[in-house]
Structures are given as structure tokens and as C-alpha cells.
Amino acid sequence: MTSLTDRDLASPPSTAIDDASHGGSQQTLGDSHQTGYFTSTTQSESSSVGTQPSSASVTSGPPTPSSSALTESVLSPGGTRYPARLSSPQSSDSRTAHAALVCQAFAPHVSVLSSPDCEELMRHKGLNGGLLELLRPFGEVIPGRVVIRDSTGAGRAWDDFGVRFTGIKDGLEAPRMGQYRPARLRSGGDTAQIEQLVERQLDSKEPDLGRLSISGDELNDSPAFTLYQQKLLSGTILTPHETFAHPVALVIAISSRSPSPIEELRNLYAESNTGAYRLPPWVNNEYLRYYVLVHDEDFDDIRKSTTLYEQMKRPFGLHCHLLRVRSTQCLPSDEDGFGLPRRAWSSAAEDLTDMADLEDEEATESGQSRIFESDAIAVRSFVREMVTQSIIPSMERLVATWNDQVASRRRGISGRFMSLSKRFTPFGSRSNSPSTTSGSNYDSSGGFYRPDSPEALMRKLGDYAMMLRDYKLAQATYDLLSGDFKNDKAWRHYAGANEMAAISSLMTGASVSTRARAETIDVWLENAYYSYFSRCNSLFFAIRTIMLGAEFLKARDGSALDDAARWFSRLLDDRIVGPVGHALVLERIGGCFASRKGVGTLQSGSRRRKAAFWMTMATRAWLDMDKAGQAARCLDSALRIYGPIDAVEGGGLFFEGMRFYLSDLEGAVQGAASASKAADLPDENVEQTMEQVDQRPHRKSLSIAAISTTFDPLGVVPLTPKPAILERKDEVEADGFE
């Protein structure tokens, strides 16, 4: 291996190293807060583009500690390659589970680009996905508390902060099942695959769901809906109208096996800047570059790697790391090895592929990716150091810069005057002129703003504030942007700004009056949904808008619950969700009405009858999909609200027609459950019987009798869907045909 010399680093390639400064003064090292086994430090350094900082003025974090440095295991044993599916994320005491889910969903994205020799080292470890497969599970939750400063300079510690490691080209193509390219499988945005994943999970959970007895708050706790919502938020779609999936940093990795490391750095940077890995023109290419030297603990000399790393620290400072891992493949017989941690934020397409692999016996035995405990300690240390010392300080500085230099001018009188001038004084532009409005930075033919335009920078300001959990700054920025996007007729950008203005406002947790909610949040949601659905035909983002906004309203009390049910109903009215989503939304509407508390002894203002009605419709929807367990769960909720089916007295809310319908529905659920159990029995235990068909002309169909006792000679009464419902005994005796 060729080591770097001072001469090599004194005259680096024009772009191979200077971008570590992230565009000059914007890359200034800021405060870093660490907890746990990291020492709390505060460092402030600066560097400019094309200049080399001296070794005395730049400090770097220590190399990855060895396994002896940390005695406790950083992973729980028994981790599998497939994520935990029907489990909700942990929520803090001060936030709801939905708010915690949104906090973790809008996380910074970090791209990974590694050299061929580094990828070969990972394949020798048994990680066919390369370095990205090793890093992804460890970025979802950073160990220890992470301190983030808001726009006012106040710091707050978070224990659930994370980043998303992605491939540099992930999210540019929609996933297509059958094409097993990893970059496509990691891309989200396909609701059909989300529904397929939820349905398969429900099929695997059907026996357990059939034995559930719902009571208390479990009516509003739907693991299937949580999975649907989490996979909806897991989609990493690179789009011009929002920058959540745009990378905030790029990990450029080389290995100690490289014969010419300086040439590897030059090539990898050139590919990410102007080569094959250059992102589309609407993505700002001035993001942090973080350089990693992967050392092979089993076969390479640590002294040579340490020498190379010390030389790398001079130009990069904190933006480099020495990652020490073993290249030997971890086998199930190794005592200090275990499976990779579970991925919670993977796309539905990726989960479906993993499930198909696990169903294969050979994949179940040998497809499990395993690592050593020392590797896990090294990776977790690397991820925390990179996030706390480089990524978060860089994002904080950019937020402060954009807020001071761009947003403050836009909020001033001159900025408002310019906005009005673009709207009312076209300066002679004709209606049939080119698509770009006079004085506008919006390219309507391409559907994007230039990355250096004020509108694009302010959108990044709002998204960065959202990812850093400064929701007040984010809400003010999105609200300010929506007017500019509307004037430019950038409808997708306009929808995105309104969507995130509503979400960030609800994330603050501030109490809002009914009138204020109708004038602000409802208007934002309506503008976002209408533009996504009607103007842009972006069904994925339209569903996301309603799912997020309505769920936040559902967590509140009073009339907000009625508003949540109304927003959920929009998804049903416009028919933009599939069968699984349709049934889940029916359940959610019933949960909204069930949460509405009445006042006084008469419970005035409650919505119990509506809640039971929507849960009854959800029962029928699950029956149509042969989901007996889910149908029984919803029917039990309806019966608890209506009261026992045989108790006419005692305050039951049902009326006579509903009594009969619920009784028939209960029989249908029991029949579907019995049919499902019979289908699961072995073939030798199934006894087939045959009987002669009774063709008497006046014999009534059992399924028709279950619906109506009226005579139907023309046969126009529709048959009840599977299975046939048996008549009750009292109705048979009252029938004149028997």
C-alpha cells in the first residue's frame, strides 16, 4: 500500500479534497456535544475552499476503539436481517407515538460511495450489499443523546435521533418488483407494495389476531396501520419539490488494501461531483464529504493504516475516520458474532424481497448476514462521531446562514415588495409567452428551481430545520414560501410547502383553537391535498399528507377528532387507497369517533354510534379480503359499543335492523374463521362429504334468508359474500316454507 506524503496532500486534485470544506466558510467546524463514552468537546475551526488547514489548527476524533475499549455489547443478540414489522417506535413522555414516528421519519440522508477494493473487503465479510449494508442498521438511532441547537441557540438533547444511510443513486427510480436491483428496491413511493406488505403481515398474524379481545385504548392501537404509515414514510424519493431525500453528506470510503489511496480519493470525488454519480441538476451538489479509511484487522498492517490516517487528518480534520473491521466472515459457530440489527426504515419492496428470501430454506440457513461484536462497536463509534462532530454542526451552520442571509431578507419590506412586483407587474410579459414567468426563478418545463435560487435555499432551510427538529422555524419558512410558489404556479412545490407547514405546526404541540385551526391548518392541508391530487396527480404525496395531518388531529381532543375523521374520509371518497388501506382507514375513522368524549350523564357530544357504524363497515371490508382475524377484531369493537347482541335493555345503542345485521355479520366472521382453520389442517385430516342437491322450486337460499325474509321470485337479491350465513333458529320457525 502506498502511503500519502506531505507533498501529495500539499497539492491535492482541484476538487478531490477541497469539498471537505463544504463550500468554504459554510464548512466551519462548530460545536460538538457528546455523551456516553465520548468526551464532551467544543471545537471551532474554519477552512476555505482550495486551502489546506495546518495540522496544528485542526483536530480530529480518535480512531475507532478496539473491542477491548468497550466491554458492553452494543447490540442485542438475535438480530435478524428482516426488520421488526408490527411494532410501533418508542415515544418519549412529552410526545405522542405519532410525533415520535414523524421525528424519526424526517431524518438526514447520508449517501455512501466506496471504492471497489472496499466493496470487495465487505463481500469477503459476507456482506453482499457492501459498506452500505454494514452501515444502514446503525444509523437509525444514534447511541446516547444527541444535542441539537435551534435557531435561537438553545440546545436540546434527543435520544432518538438518527440518519438514513442510502446509496448515492437511491430514490431516482421508482421500484419495480421483479427487477432486483438493490437501488430500486431501496426506493419507496409505491403504495401498492405497501399494501402487499401489510397484507402479508396480516396473514402471518391472523391466528393471533383472532384470539384478541379488544378493550380500552386498544381500539385506537392498530399495529397494521402503524406499519402502513411507517412504510409510507420510509420512501426515499428524490424529487425537486422537497429535499428530505437529498444527501446532507457523502461518505467516501477507501480500504487499506488500496495500492494508490490518493488516486482512489480523486476518482471517487470526481465521480460524485461531475461523473457518473452526479445527482440531477436540481440537487445542490455542495454537501459535506466525509472520508473513511477502512482498515482490515485480519490481514493489513495497522501501522501503515495509522500513518495514512494521520496524513488524511491534515486536510480533512474532523471529516475523516479510521474504521477498523475484520474481513473474515462471521459464521454462526462464532461465539462473538450475531446477525445485523433489524432495519425499521426500509422500503416495502425491500421487505417483500427479504420475506421471499426467508421463505427459501437455503436463504434461511445461509443468507443471514452476521458480524463480529468488535465490528459493531467500531461502526457505532464511527456513526456517532460523524453525526455529532460533522453532520449536525454543518447543518446548524447552514441553517443559521440561510436564515440570516436569505430568509430574513425575504421577510423584510423589500422582499415582500419584490414578491408583489412579480405577482402584479409582469412588465409586458404576454399570456402566451414561454413557461417561465418574468422575474421568476422557476423552470416550469423542468419543474424545478435552480439549487442556488432563493426559493430553493429557503426550501432547504425549512427541510433542514425540520430534520433538526426546529419546528417553529420550519413552519415560518414553509408558510413564507407557499405564496412565492403559488405566484410562480409551481404547484408541486406549493403543495409540499403547505403540507410541511401543517405538519411542522402540529409538531410544535401548541394548543390551537377551533377557529385558528380552521383558518390555518385546515387551509394548509386542503391546499396541499388538492394540489397533489388534482393538479399534480401525485397520489403518494396526497396519501402522505392526509395520513400525517389526520393522525396529528386524532391525537387531540374535541372537534379536532371530527376533523381527523373528515380528512380520513377524503381518502375513501377519492378512492386513492387500495383494499388494505381502505379497511385501515375505516378502522381509523371509527377510532376517531370512539375517542370523542361526551359531556354529562347523557354523554352529549359523543360519537359512539358513528364509531360502531364505521367499525362495522371495517368488519365487512376485512371479510371481503378473507381477513377473519381483523374482521373479528373490528366486530368486537362494534359490539362493545353497541352492547351485547341479546341484551335489548341496558343502554344499547343499536336499533332492530342493526341487531339483525350484526348477528348475521357475527355468523359470517365465525364462518370465515372456521373456513380458515379448516384450510390450515393437513390433507389427511380433511374428510370430504357429498350430499344430493335439493332442487325443490320454493326452497329459500340460506344466504338470501340471512339478508332479508322477503320473498324474491326473480332472484335479484345479491348473495352475501363468503361464506354463507346460516339462519337463526327463530327465523327458521317463522318461515312459511319449512
In-domain check, residue 156: yes
* pLDDT at position 236 over 60: yes
Instruction: Clarify whether residues 643 and 729 are in a common domain.
Output: no
* pLDDT at position 217 over 80: no
Neighbours of 589 (CB within 10 A): 27
Q: Which of 154-168, 191-205, 705-719 has the lowest mean pLDDT?
A: 705-719
Task: Read off the pLDDT band of 380 (50, 70, 90).
Answer: very high
- Dihedral sign, CA of 698, 704, 708, 714? negative
- Taking residues 262-286, report their average pLDDT: 90
Q: What is the pLDDT of residue 617?
A: 95
In-domain check, residue 424: no
- Whether 559 contacts 514, CB under 8 Å: yes
Higher pLDDT among residues 602 and 210, named by residue:
602
At 695, give phi and psi (nearest 5°).
-105, 30
* pLDDT at position 305 over 60: yes
Closest CA relative to residue 471, chosen from 33, 102, 83, 68:
102
Q: What percent of the chain has pLDDT over 90?
A: 44
Q: What is the pLDDT of residue 511?
A: 85
- Taking residues 558-574, report their average pLDDT: 94
Higher pLDDT among residues 104 and 656, named by residue:
104
* pLDDT at position 491 over 90: yes
Instruction: Clarify whether residues 653 and 512 are in a common domain.
Output: yes
What CATH number corresponds to the domain at position 537? 1.25.40
Exposed, middle or buried by CB within 10 Å (0-12, 13-18, 19+), for 250?
buried
Instruction: Clarify whether residues 525 and 584 are in a common domain.
Output: yes
- Taking residues 171-177, report their average pLDDT: 57
- Taking residues 260-273, report their average pLDDT: 88
Closest CA relative to residue 141, chosen from 185, 98, 90:
90
Closest CA relative to residue 336, chosen from 310, 298, 374, 364:
374
- Taking residues 69-95, report their average pLDDT: 36
In-domain check, residue 683: no
- Taking residues 7-34, report their average pLDDT: 38
In-domain check, residue 214: no
Query: pTM for the complete prediction?
Result: 0.77
Instruction: Clarify whether residues 625 and 505 are in a common domain.
Output: yes
Instruction: Clarify whether residues 721 and 598 are in a common domain.
Output: no
Instruction: Clarify whether residues 309 and 344 are in a common domain.
Output: yes
For the chain, what is the domain count?
Answer: 3
Q: What is the pLDDT of residue 367?
A: 58
Higher pLDDT among residues 167 and 431, named by residue:
167
Q: What is the pLDDT of residue 556?
A: 87
* pLDDT at position 178 over 50: no
Q: Which of 340-344, 403-407, 532-536, 622-626 has the lowest mean pLDDT?
A: 340-344
- Whether 568 contacts 584, CB under 8 Å: no
Q: Which residue has the cell 449494508?
A: 133
Higher pLDDT among residues 690 and 341, named by residue:
341
Instruction: Clarify whether residues 330 and 237 are in a common domain.
Output: yes
In-domain check, residue 458: yes
SS3 116: helix
* pLDDT at position 565 over 80: yes
Task: Read off the pLDDT band of 535 (50, 70, 90).
Answer: very high
Q: What's the chain's average pLDDT?
A: 76
Q: Strand pairing partners for 252?
A: 113, 291
Ranked by mean pLDDT, the top range of 16-25, 92-101, 602-611 is 602-611
In-domain check, residue 688: no
Domain enclosing residue 727, as ranges: 698-738
- Taking residues 525-540, report their average pLDDT: 96
Q: What is the pLDDT of residue 457?
A: 96
- Whether 533 contacts 87, CB under 8 Å: no
Q: What percent of the chain has pLDDT over 70?
A: 67
In-domain check, residue 215: no
Q: What is the pLDDT of residue 682?
A: 55
* pLDDT at position 649 over 60: no
* pLDDT at position 69 over 60: no
Q: Which of 30-39, 229-238, 420-429, 709-718 has the lowest mean pLDDT?
A: 30-39
Instruction: Clarify whether residues 259 and 243 are in a common domain.
Output: yes
SS3 689: coil
- Whether 262 contacts 315, CB under 8 Å: no
Instruction: Clarify whether residues 479 and 512 are in a common domain.
Output: yes
Instruction: Clarify whether residues 644 and 711 are in a common domain.
Output: no
Q: What is the pLDDT of residue 557?
A: 82
Q: What is the pLDDT of residue 111?
A: 96
Q: What is the pLDDT of residue 624?
A: 93
Q: Which of 21-25, 176-180, 219-223 has the lowest mean pLDDT?
A: 21-25
Instruction: Clarify whether residues 119 and 185 are in a common domain.
Output: yes
Higher pLDDT among residues 102 and 86, named by residue:
102
* pLDDT at position 586 over 60: yes
Report, in this order, helix, strand and coil percent for the chain, each rounded to 5.
Answer: 50, 10, 40
Closest CA relative to residue 373, chosen from 322, 334, 323, 425:
334
Task: Read off the pLDDT band of 588 (50, 70, 90).
Answer: very high
Alpha-carbon span 309 to 592, nearest angstrom = 57
DSSP 325: E
Q: Which of 87-91, 94-98, 530-534, 675-679 has the lowest mean pLDDT?
A: 87-91
Instruction: Clarify whether residues 388 and 408 are in a common domain.
Output: no
In-domain check, residue 650: yes
